[in-house]
Amino acid sequence: MTVTTHEAPKDTSTRLPGGKGMGVGGGRGGGGGPMKIDPRDRAQLEFAPVPLKRVTNLFRGFGRPIGIVTAIIVATSVVSMAQPFLVREVVDTAIPQQDVRLLILSVAAMVAVAATTQLLGVVQTWMSTGVGQRVMHRLRTDLFAHLQQQSLGFFTRTRAGEVQSRLTNDINGMQGVVTTTATSIASNLTTAIATSVAMVALSWRLSLLSLIVIPPAVWMTRRVALIRREVTARQQARRADLNVQIEEGLSVSGVRLSKTLGAGRRQAERFADTSSELVELELRSQLAGRWRMATMQIIFSAIPALIYLVAGLPATSGGMTIGTLIAFTTLQAGIFRPLMGLLNVGAQWVSSMALFSRVFEYLDLIPDVAAPVAPVALDPANVRGEVRFENVNFAYAADSPLAVADVNAVVPSGGSLALVGHTGSGKSTIASLVARLHDPTSGRVTIDGVDLRDLDPEVLARIVGVVSQETYLVHASIRENLLLAAPDATEAELWRALGAAQIADLVGTLPDGLDTLVGARGHRFSGGEQQRIAIARTILRNPRVLVLDEATSALDNDTERAVQKALDELVRGRTTITIAHRLSTIEDADEIAVLDHGHIVERGTHRELLALGGRYAALAGTPAYATV
């Protein structure tokens, strides 16, 4: 399977967590109204069908608890059928004949039946939820770990919300399938069968009447509920729109964009329009619900009335007792719920399998940058740090032009290579190959003679450190951000790293020091401060090879000088590959390579390239690459 799954027909924006609404569980337990098969679910299964065997394999090792749960469901349905017969015994025998012993036994049996069914229900819920949670835990962690192995290209091609939806909404929905939908189907089936048998045992005449009356009653109830289901689906879609507008309009980046574009009033009007539509839909939903309730009340009143009529006519009563009539009407009223639940089985099945399909689709992704099966043993502490590019070519897609073409270069241990060129010349692509964010289409990149594809990803991450212009700090404290690089670092080591990064003095003046929260994406600090915290993090990592990807390009002159001091401390003694923003930062590089459309067109030292009077000299004369 190729990494193009985000194109599958699976928009989950109108689904609520747990699969409610349009997803699994709309009719869960038979009491939530009828479900329609969602066209998106059907399309998903056509795009990525799921073998039933693969679903059942998830439950290997859980055979015993599943068997016990099934037995409990059957036992609960059977035991609960004793209740109407006990009522008949009380009404027809115990009370008329003043049989106190029989009355006490019958009443005690009623309480015992109720207590038994409730106790069995608690055990069933505990066991089924336990199985579901363990299966979902395994799926959730497997999916998260598998997605971590995907290449950077996968995440640039896939919407972040789509990945999060698979990992949260779809997994939660699957848990509902395991713990609720499957058990409700079994419960509804056994209850419907047991109730039907009990009704026939009480009165076959009234059972025939039910066969005539119940189907149209169920159909009418289902029809009215479908109207509300359609309105509810539209409500969910509008609520999703509302949530998106809240997220986009009230996040740090969203508020900044709104204020700088003067779009606040337009966004407020758009929000008001969506909210107004929700008001109208809510009115329609409540009205549809009121009509549904009215229809159901009429039906539920009419059916017992007809039964009383038949039971009261001499020609049709068949000598029926009062107790039998009460017991029968109790059973007849209770059969609606399991019947409605069974009518939803088809839609529940399709929705359930669609959820499995979406999760399995991601689990089946083959990483573009796969970890080696048998990695080469390389101790990061003993790495010299020689980097070689051997006939390297790279294209971002099979049908796209080469972003890097026939690159050959050697960066000796402790040496430095600078890459310069106009935007799109291939500088960042070459840097990404060293960190193995991508693999060469052909050729190879090596460290100390070992192909990067033969190294364990965690070992490579300890050898190669990256500082880019796009600094990312997690929404946690400075300490926690630093410890991401070195979980076992001591307090003294943290402060030394901050000192080397030229930011220890600033952190020391903060009331909470290392425990200061950096805020969402580091917005608590300026761009230069974020960059220096990131540099401190890389210093803690202590990589032998360093990639600097335009680390100061977005900074003003004063901030750039402060960050450059930190970088000078960082690169000392390390093999360094630098993507230059200003040529003044790379004048001392051992070698400078000038790139154009992925090709190295010039190489040499700063003085040699200036004397050559070619591309490098031309770059030196442009404001963007000014040497002063």
Which three-class secondary structure string do you get for 236-299?
HHHHHHHHHHHHHHHCHHHHHHHHHHCCHHHHHHHHHHHHHHHHHHHHHHHHHHHHHHHHHHHH
User: Does residue 456 sit in helix, strand or coil?
Assistant: coil
Per-residue pLDDT at 176 exceeds 70: no
Distance CA 34, CA 41 (A): 16
In the prediction, which pLDDT does 454 show? 92
Mean pLDDT along residues 323-340: 79
416 CB neighbour count, 10 Å cutoff? 20
Nearest to 439 by CA among 395, 473, 500, 478: 395
Select the more confidently predicted residue: 441 or 300: 441
Distance CA 272, CA 268 (A): 6
Query: What is the DSSP-derived secondary structure letter of residue 372?
Result: P
pLDDT band at 238 (very low <50, low <70, confident <90, very high): confident
Write out pLDDT tens, residues 507-520.
Answer: 999 888 899 888 77
In the prediction, which pLDDT does 625 show? 55
In the prediction, which pLDDT does 4 show? 38
**Mean pLDDT, the chain, integer:** 78
In the prediction, which pLDDT does 275 show? 84
Distance CA 277, CA 238 (A): 8
Least confident of 48-62, 65-79, 333-347: 333-347
Distance CA 456, CA 232 (A): 50
Select the more confidently predicted residue: 320 or 413: 413
Q: Which domains does the chain have, with CATH numbers?
A: 17-363 (1.20.1560.10), 385-625 (3.40.50.300)
Per-residue pLDDT at 521 exceeds 60: yes
Write out pLDDT tens, residues 103-130.
Answer: 999 899 999 999 999 999 899 888 888 8
Per-residue pLDDT at 132 exceeds 50: yes
Per-residue pLDDT at 494 exceeds 50: yes
**Amino acid letter for position 354:** A
In which residue are the tokens 């950077």 written? Answer: 152
Per-residue pLDDT at 322 exceeds 80: yes
Q: Residue 300: which residues within 8 A CB-CB, separation 6 or more?
A: 333, 336
Its sign, for the CA torsion 41, 172, 167, 68, is negative
In the prediction, which pLDDT does 24 show? 33
In the prediction, which pLDDT does 440 show? 92
Q: Which two tokens stand for residue 53?
A: 């065997």
pLDDT band at 394 (very low <50, low <70, confident <90, very high): very high
Select the more confidently predicted residue: 562 or 460: 460
Greatest distance between any 2 Cα atoms in the chain = 121
240 CB neighbour count, 10 Å cutoff? 17
pLDDT band at 286 (very low <50, low <70, confident <90, very high): low
Per-residue pLDDT at 36 exceeds 60: no
Query: What is the DSSP-derived secondary structure letter of residue 525?
Result: S
In which residue are the tokens 């009460």 written? Answer: 326
Distance CA 491, CA 514 (A): 9
Distance CA 47, CA 40 (A): 10
Please state at what angle helix 527-541 crosses helix 557-571, rounded to 10 degrees: 0
165 CB neighbour count, 10 Å cutoff? 20
Distance CA 538, CA 26 (A): 50
Per-residue pLDDT at 626 exceeds 90: no
Per-residue pLDDT at 16 exceeds 50: no
> How many residues does this entry show for the chain?
628
- Count helices and strands (H / E) in the chain: 25, 10
Q: Residue 50: which residues within 8 A CB-CB, separation 6 or more?
A: 353, 356, 357, 360
pTM, two decimals, is 0.61
In the prediction, which pLDDT does 121 show? 87
Q: Residue 23: which residues within 8 A CB-CB, separation 6 or more?
A: 12, 15, 16, 38, 41, 173, 351, 355
Mean pLDDT along residues 35-43: 63
pLDDT band at 624 (very low <50, low <70, confident <90, very high): low
Torsion of CA 257, 263, 265, 270, to 10 degrees: -90
Backbone angles phi, psi at 599, to 5 degrees: -100, 145
In the prediction, which pLDDT does 421 show? 87
